[in-house]
Structure 1
């Protein structure tokens, strides 16, 4: 495994690009929740939901689980006994590995490397120094080439369709606390060089009170190369209504790299307002995670839980669409996609 410098070839130079989430996985990387204060006293309930989530994923593919100390590892091993889980002792601040973990890239021959972006906890909102080191650990563990990049980028802030299109939000990427001065055009060039995004599409914003500043993976997702599912809020008095309606209009005007429109599928937000320790929570069904033969969808004990599953199931033929409770996990501000990071199937490329 070698480290890149600014004069080294970019991933694009060497034929690497980020695969879509539905491409075959070698494993799912996750982190075990450990800090009761971060979960506002709900750690036990959160760990119970993590257990159900990890056991679900591990029925279909291996889980690589980061644990930060003796207590975490002992607790996780007891709850997950018999599941296909490998444990890694790594210093951690939190569990949002979608954002602080590596983003893997693959090239046509099946070789796999990773990109390591700076993570600053969504603009310095929480502690992040330990979490920012996770991609380096993963690269060393796998013996994999790592491109260390001097830009802040969270995996939850970008969706790709595997056919050259990326989707993000201005409310997240253009904040002054991430990459000051980096414009939409600058991001387009950067993501073309690093992740193979040929066409970067922008929505304006995300959910109310989302501490990520509106990650795309909480509202709008690709389900295949040509289909986008997007969150809608029918209640005109809800603060999310106008933003989601504006996003829907924008999506219907967008096209792929060939100029073809996307199929747009509407997905309701949960009907009930959920309040947490710091105000309204941002529950969403769009924060599902796609794996080998399955899609796991957050559920909240809400009237829209079942309708959301009914909408998503036909979008994933050949995959089992599974609802799992995320009522406690959402207290931390995210859900299943936020706490997972896929390692695509492929052979490790060390850069040599």
Structure 2
């Protein structure tokens, strides 16, 4: 069983725990294997699966992949499919438990580490499917405790709603987020901005919270930061921009860009902001998906970047190669995955190594 921190305990921050930057070495990356046809309707679930399996294979080149499987039947199916495409099954570990949906970044465990003691713990934030949009979500809400039990880690429950895709970290005390999501009354209506910031400091172990305004068209999360702005090192972000002034994303991304350009880190220095183009609108059956090159995953093997058979794919790859000079850029097709309104970062949650 997991060992919850006693109710009288100090907060994770006071105990010296912090959420590492994504480029910190991983022991594993956790995924919740998709099975819900409400997210990929009709034959779309089968059509996206090869892209999802390719994602697992790419991660497994550098670290373990933890897969949360809805039941033993799904575990057996996934094992067979991974073996068929040449994945080293020694790199795969399973937790079998009921699940509702696939977006592990948001319902999965948040792993904190104490840099001095090398201890880890799991923060079990509440999950309400992005403001109650997609019930039921009770099985997903139990995922952090199940993974913590599997790993034998301490857990702490802040008691509020929080999603991993809504927060971005530089590993040096700064957290980026968006007002449209964290201040949305469909998450924690009882809390104001100052109170939410206090939770972020206490349970993510950060010191500074920086805010942008909103997210992109097609994003049903109310503006997750991982579709618009990502840290690539302690003082540098890539920020999505739209060059067409008539595009629905133009104004909101320009607003976010201006905010980022005026921000200062804790050392008083400005953020280094690298502009990253948006793909040309990624349309599927008259639906504009939230396609974004910022929804990449930094893992041990490299940076896995979603591409969309889009005119801007190569430009984005080139920019990210310069932004990550010491890491391999791994472009993978997300043309079917994006129908579910998320991509590689949304699907994954990293577990730091010790």
Asked if Structure 1 and Structure 2 have the same fold, meaning a TM-score greater than 0.5 normalized by the shorter chain, the answer is yes
Mapped to 2, the partners of 1:265 and 1:36 lie a distance apart of 37
**What residue in structure 2 maps to residue 350 of structure 1?**
none
Q: Secondary structure at the match of 2:95?
A: strand
Deviates more, 1:197-206 or 1:3-12: 3-12
Mapped to 2, the partners of 1:123 and 1:173 lie a distance apart of 10
Whether contact under 8 Å (1:33, 1:46) holds in the other structure is: no
Deviation string 1:263-310 (CA, Å, 9 cap, x unpaired) is 100001111341357x32110000000011400000111011111110
Deviation string 1:79-117 (CA, Å, 9 cap, x unpaired) is 111432112211000110000001111112211111000
Whether contact under 8 Å (2:63, 2:301) holds in the other structure is: no
TM-score (norm 1): 0.95
Query: In the TM superposition, what are the counterparts of 1:332-347 in structure 2 within 5 Å?
Result: 332-346=340-354
Judging changes above 3 Å, is the alpha-carbon distance between structure 1 residues 276 and 21 closer, same or farther for their aligned structure 2 residues? farther
Deviation string 1:47-72 (CA, Å, 9 cap, x unpaired) is 11111000011011110111112442
The question of 1:130 aligning with 2:139 is answered yes
Q: Secondary structure at the match of 2:138?
A: coil
Whether contact under 8 Å (1:33, 1:94) holds in the other structure is: yes
The question of 1:222 aligning with 2:222 is answered no
User: Please, which runs of 5 or more residues in structure 2 have no aligned partner?
Assistant: none
Mapped to 2, the partners of 1:343 and 1:247 lie a distance apart of 29
Whether contact under 8 Å (1:293, 1:318) holds in the other structure is: no
1:142 equivalent among 139, 151, 156: 151
Q: CA RMSD in A?
A: 1.2
The question of 1:311 aligning with 2:319 is answered yes
Deviation string 1:146-189 (CA, Å, 9 cap, x unpaired) is 00120100000000101111000000001111101322211221
Deviates more, 1:247-256 or 1:66-75: 66-75
Whether contact under 8 Å (1:171, 1:214) holds in the other structure is: yes
Deviation string 1:218-250 (CA, Å, 9 cap, x unpaired) is 110000001000100111111100000010000
**What residue in structure 2 maps to residue 161 of structure 1?**
170
Mapped to 1, the partners of 2:247 and 2:190 lie a distance apart of 33
Mapped to 1, the partners of 2:113 and 2:297 lie a distance apart of 20
**What residue in structure 2 maps to residue 17 of structure 1?**
18
**What residue in structure 1 maps to residue 107 of structure 2?**
100
Q: Secondary structure at the match of 1:149?
A: coil
**What residue in structure 2 maps to residue 242 of structure 1?**
251
Whether contact under 8 Å (1:117, 1:152) holds in the other structure is: yes
How far does residue 6 in structure 1 lie from its aligned partner after superposition? Answer: 4.1
User: Please, which runs of 5 or more residues in structure 1 have no aligned partner?
Assistant: 347-352
The question of 1:34 aligning with 2:31 is answered no
Mapped to 1, the partners of 2:353 and 2:214 lie a distance apart of 32
**What residue in structure 2 maps to residue 52 of structure 1?**
54
Mapped to 1, the partners of 2:326 and 2:237 lie a distance apart of 18
**What residue in structure 1 maps to residue 98 of structure 2?**
91
Query: In the TM superposition, what are the counterparts of 1:248-327 in structure 2 within 5 Å?
Result: 248-276=257-285, 279-327=287-335
Corresponding pairs, count: 345
Mapped to 2, the partners of 1:38 and 1:294 lie a distance apart of 28
Query: In the TM superposition, what are the counterparts of 1:167-186 in structure 2 within 5 Å?
Result: 167-186=176-195
How far does residue 36 in structure 1 lie from its aligned partner after superposition? Answer: 2.6
Deviates more, 1:76-85 or 1:203-212: 76-85
**What residue in structure 1 maps to residue 82 of structure 2?**
80
Moved over 6 A (4+): none
Whether contact under 8 Å (2:167, 2:177) holds in the other structure is: yes
